[in-house]
Amino acid sequence: NQVHRFFLGMFMCAINPVQIPFWFGWSTVLFTKNILQAKPAQYNMYIIGIGIGTLLGNCVFIFGGKWMVQRIANSQQYLNWVIGGIFTITAIIQLVKMLLHKDGVSKFKEKGV
């Protein structure tokens, strides 16, 4: 790999498709609640805020992940348990949300799933 890590990371973040529906959703909410108005100054500040927020969020993952890996680098088995635990907790939270959301459950029952 001949590309500097900084530029590679910057490129990978720029082509990340996950952020597009996320920010479309937030933009819709802000327009609906009339918080964001169709003014060039507000658009510019909103875009700058999106950029700074995305940068700071990525920094949390980059440096937090680096710190965590350095802390438990000598214990691969411990790292496996931590990652597995995170996925298990996330799966349980999603399952509870699915079961408590009546519309979602009734739609599954209607389709016979």
| Alpha-carbon separation of residue 8 from 1, 2, 12, 70, 84 (angstroms) | 10, 10, 6, 22, 28
42 contacts 36 by C-beta, under 8 angstroms: yes
pTM of the complete model: 0.54
- Each residue's pLDDT tens digit, 52-96: 988 898 889 889 888 887 887 777 788 788 889 999 999 999 999
What pLDDT sits at residue 104? 55
